[in-house]
Structure 1
């Protein structure tokens, strides 16, 4: 899984952390949690604020 697979990342994060409100998560933790996903395999340098915002929004949409 790569940074560009925003929807899939959001689904896996919502399953891995069902108790977390994605609105209250900071980007440092979000980035670490994404990189810790078992299927994730991408360079951290390919991640930026826009990608993290997209992942956070997709996660919000997933749990809404």
Structure 2
């Protein structure tokens, strides 16, 4: 069973999003779609309503870092 992830686990979420959506440039993803991608991750165990702009930005930046590393 995967470990539980929460909105504050930006780095882990970024890694998982890169694995699940390797062909998507994170900087092109709208926050509404990013919210859905996160809540659909296996192991996501937080309240979907607890997201906010700063948490989504942190996740997007963590995902972008993984995306850039994968391209290198």
Number of residue pairs matched by the alignment: 64
RMSD of aligned alpha carbons: 0.6
Which aligned runs of 4 or more in structure 1 are off by greater than 3 angstroms?
Answer: none
Gaps of 5+ in 1: none
- Structure 1 CA distance for aligned equivalents of residues 29 and 22 of structure 2: 13
Q: TM-score, normalised by structure 1?
A: 0.96
Q: TM-score, normalised by structure 2?
A: 0.86
Gaps of 5+ in 2: none
